[in-house]
Chain A
Amino acid sequence: MIITQKRSRARKGFTLVELMIATVILVIVGLAIGVVVVDGQTTWNTMYDRINSDVVTDSYVVRKKFDAVIRNASSSKLILAGDGSWIEVYYYADASSTVVDRYARFYVSGSDLNVEYGQLSPRATIDVETVCGNVSECTFKQAGTSAQMKLILDNGTQSQTIVTSAVAHNK
């Protein structure tokens, strides 16, 4: 009996060439998707830091505090350091005050921006509040009854520049 073995013509797998081509295509597509994902993640991180990082949130607080203190101040007098390193404004302690009897002074100590509140007569400090840290530059200017502040916050990885102006509203 003669047994003949016939090789099946039906292909039950992929050839090496097909596998290599498929692998190359997959790698190219994978790399393209990877680039898009990494780019999207980088943009997302940048935007997130731009809105939520500590220097940015500190800048919101600084603006709010500066506006609140200056707008509450009397327009009769603002004192500015010769080099613009600090500013002092004066305000009424409460609605029953008949004269300006309080002061608020913005100044930088180390890398902190502080605001000192005190009474005028006799002059005494009531409280010192740290508004924010990471201050690398801070200058104050005056234009009539408005005060301007330029502040640069830098935490080593991100820098935020704040330029703001507020006018003293009270007499």
Chain B
Amino acid sequence: MTLAETMVAITILLIALIGTSTFRYNATLDGRKADAQTTAARIALMFCESWQGINGDKTYDPVNHLGSDLKVAKGTGPANPDDFTPLGSYTVAFDDGAGVDNYTMTLSWKDVKPGLRALNVIVAWASREHEGDGNDAIDKSFSLTVYSQTY
């Protein structure tokens, strides 16, 4: 085998190696992003369902209701939607077995009409873009609104 043949073979192997590594890196990154978004959606749904269970009460305290199962603490969170009255902002440290991820959230409510209340939960988490588009420092968020009878 000549030197040129050897170099061609090495080049082909390196291209295959770099291609595989790039694919796996992007797949892993996408997996992490999807995992974070799914977890945020589940947290939002869980808080909505829990709050809905007590008819959207204005004194709902997530720390009291979910604090024994989740690491929930009072903290700062994303801004609530216009016209909604904030109930509180919280930080959720969620350990899914592969590490602890922190989510911030804000709960707010609005009386749509007598007996019907809209409950809003916004969950935000640190963005993991690394695509050089300047959005690295911006948190992503997931907002969910449910309606509850108040009687």
Once A47-B32, A50-B31, A150-B69 are accepted as A-B contacts, the answer to whether A40 and B53 lie under 8 Å apart by CB is no
| Nearest CB in chain B to that of A142: its residue | B53
Q: Are B24's CB and A44's CB within 8 A?
A: yes
A143 to B50, CA, bound (A): 7
B115 interface residue per 8 A CB criterion: no
Residues from chain B with a CB closer than 8 A to the CB of A144 are 53-55
Give CA–CA (A164, B42) in the complex, Å: 8
Q: How far does the Cβ of B150 sit from chain A's closest Cβ, in whole Å? A: 12
Q: What band does the interface of chain A fall in when counting residues whose beta carbon is under 8 Å from B?
A: 20 to 34
Chain A residues 134-171 with CB under 8 Å of chain B are: 139, 141-148, 150, 158-161, 163-167
Q: Which B residue sits closest to A159, measured CB to CB?
A: B97
Q: Say yes or no: is B65 at the interface (Cβ < 8 Å to chain A).
A: yes
Are A163 and B69 closer than 8 Å at their CB atoms? yes
Which of A97-128 touch B at CB < 8 Å? Answer: none
Residues of A within 8 A of B80 (CB): none
A28 in contact (CB, < 8 A): no
Task: A41 to B21: give the CA distance in the assembly, Å.
Answer: 9
Instruction: State in angstroms the CA–CA spacing of A126 and B17 once bound together.
Output: 56
Closest chain-B Cβ to A151's Cβ sits at a distance in Å of: 10
Would you give the shortest CB distance from B8 to chain A, in whole angstroms? 17
Residue A31 lies at the interface, judged by CB distance under 8 Å to chain B: no
CA distance A143 to B48 in the complex (A): 12
Residues of B within 8 A of A163 (CB): 46, 66, 69-70
Q: How far is the CB of A36 from chain B (nearest CB, A)?
A: 7
With a cutoff of 8 Å between Cβ atoms, the chain B residues found around residue A50 in the complex are: 31, 35, 96-98
For window 75-92 of chain B, which residues contact chain A by CB distance below 8 Å? none
Residue of A nearest to B34 (CB): A51
Q: How far is the CA of A146 from the CA of B55 in the complex (A)?
A: 10
Say whether B65 contacts A143, CB under 8 Å. Answer: yes
Type the 1/0 row for B11-42, where 1 means its CB is closer than 8 Å to any CB of A. Answer: 00000010001001101100110010000001
A57 at the interface (CB under 8 A from B): no
Specify which of B28, B50, B97 is in contact with A44 (CB 8 Å cutoff).
B28
How far is B35's CA from A151's CA once the two chains are assembled, in angstroms?
19
The yes or no answer to B49 lying at the interface (CB within 8 A) is yes
Which residues of chain A have C-beta atoms less than 8 A from B136's C-beta?
A: none
Q: Can you list 17 pairs linking A and B with CB atoms under 8 Å apart?
A: A33-B17, A40-B25, A44-B24, A49-B98, A55-B97, A143-B50, A143-B54, A150-B69, A161-B95, A161-B97, A164-B46, A165-B45, A165-B46, A165-B47, A165-B49, A165-B66, A166-B49
B residues whose Cβ falls under 8 Å from a Cβ of A: 17, 21, 24-25, 27-28, 31-32, 35, 42, 45-47, 49-50, 52-55, 65-66, 68-70, 95-98
Given known contacts A47-B32, A158-B97, A165-B53, what 7 new A-B pairs fall within 8 Å (CB)?
A: A33-B17, A40-B21, A146-B52, A148-B66, A150-B69, A163-B69, A163-B70
